Chain A
Amino acid sequence: MDASMNEDWQDNARMIVESARAVVPADGALSRVRKARFNGLGFDPKVMQQAAELGWPLMWIGEEAGGLGLGLRETCALMEVLGRGLVPEPVLSTMMAGALLQEALPETVMTGEAVILTAWQDATGALTWQGGAEAGHLTGPKVNLRGAAGADLFAIVTGAGLAIVPRSAEGLNIETAETLDGGTMDRLHMTGVAADFLPCTQVDTVLQDATLAHSAYLLGLADRALEITLDYLRVRKQFDRPIGSFQALQHRATEMKIQLELTRAAIAATARRFDTGADVATRAAGAARCKLRAADLAMLVSREAVQMHGAMGITDEADIGLFVRKAMTEANLFGSPRQQRRLLATRLDQEEAA
Chain B
Amino acid sequence: MTTLPDYNAMSDAEFRQTVRTFVETNYPDIPRYSLSRLHWDEVKPWYMVLSENGWICPTWPRDHGGMGLNAGKHLILIEEFERYGAARVNDIGPVMLGPLLLKHGTEAQKAHFLPRILSGEDVWAQGYSEPGAGSDLAAVRCEAVLDGEEWVINGQKTWCTLGMDANWIFILARTDKTVKKQAGISFLLVPMDAQGVTIRNIENLELEAEFCEVFFDDVRVPADHIVGHINDGWSVAKALLGHERVFIGAPRLSAAALSRLKRIAQHSGIWDDPVFQDRYVALQCDVLDLSDLFETFVDRLRDGREIGADVAMLKIFQSELYQRISELMMQVAEEDAGLRHAPEGDRQLHAAATYLSARPTTIFGGSTEIMRNVLAKAVLDLPA
Contacts and interface: CB of A to CB of B under 8 A. Distances in A.
A185 B202 contact: no
B255 to A, nearest CB: 22
B340 A179 contact: yes
B335 A125 contact: yes
Contact of B341 (A177, A310, A321): A177
Contacts of A325: 205
B241 to A, nearest CB: 23
B363 A314 contact: yes
B337 A331 contact: yes
Contacts of B135: 238-239, 310
A337 B202 contact: no
B334 A314 contact: no
A122 to B, nearest CB: 12
Contacts of B333: 332
B337 A328 contact: yes
A237 interface: yes
Contacts of B367: 307, 310
Contact of B338 (A310, A328, A338): A328
B179 interface: no
B175 interface: no
Chain B's interface size range is 35 or more
A252 to B, nearest CB: 9
A240 B338 CA distance: 39
Interface stretch (B107-115, B145-153, B308-316, B354-362): B354-362
Interface string A268-309: 000000000000000000000000000000010001001100
Interface stretch (B58-66, B226-234, B267-275): B267-275
B362 A307 contact: yes
B162 to A, nearest CB: 15
B370 to A, nearest CB: 9
Contacts of A189: none
Contacts, number: 120
A328 B354 CA distance: 12
Given A238-B136, A299-B330, A324 B270 contact: no
A339 B275 CA distance: 11
B340 A331 contact: no
B331 interface: yes
Contact of A180 (B159, B327, B338, B363): B338
Contacts of B281: none
B335 A124 contact: yes
B154 interface: no
Nearest to A296: B331
Among B207, B269, B276: residue with most chain A CB under 10 A: B207
Given A125-B334, A316-B205, A337-B331, A311 B363 contact: yes
A333 B339 CA distance: 12
Among A311, A329, A330: residue with most chain B CB under 10 A: A311
A57 interface: no
A338 B205 contact: no
A156 interface: no
Contacts of B268: 125
A124 to B, nearest CB: 5
Interface in A153-180: 177-180
Interface in B345-380: 352, 355, 359-360, 362-364, 367-369, 372
Contacts of A311: 129, 134, 158-159, 360, 363-364
Contacts of A179: 338-340
A178 B332 contact: no
Contact of B336 (A124, A310, A314): A124
B203 A181 contact: no
Contacts of A177: 339-341, 343
Contacts of B158: 311
A341 B270 CA distance: 13
A93 interface: no
B132 interface: yes
B340 A316 contact: no
A317 B202 contact: yes
B259 interface: no
Interface in A218-240: 237-240
The 5 A-B residue pairs whose C-beta atoms are closest, nearest first, are A329-B338, A125-B334, A238-B136, A316-B203, A178-B340
Interface of A: 124-125, 143-144, 177-181, 185, 237-240, 246, 248-249, 299, 303, 306-307, 310-311, 313-317, 321, 324-325, 328-333, 336-339, 341
Interface of B: 129, 132, 134-136, 139, 158-159, 202-205, 207, 268-270, 275-276, 323, 327, 330-341, 343, 352, 355, 359-360, 362-364, 367-369, 372
9 contacts: A124-B336, A125-B269, A238-B135, A240-B136, A310-B367, A315-B204, A315-B205, A316-B205, A338-B331
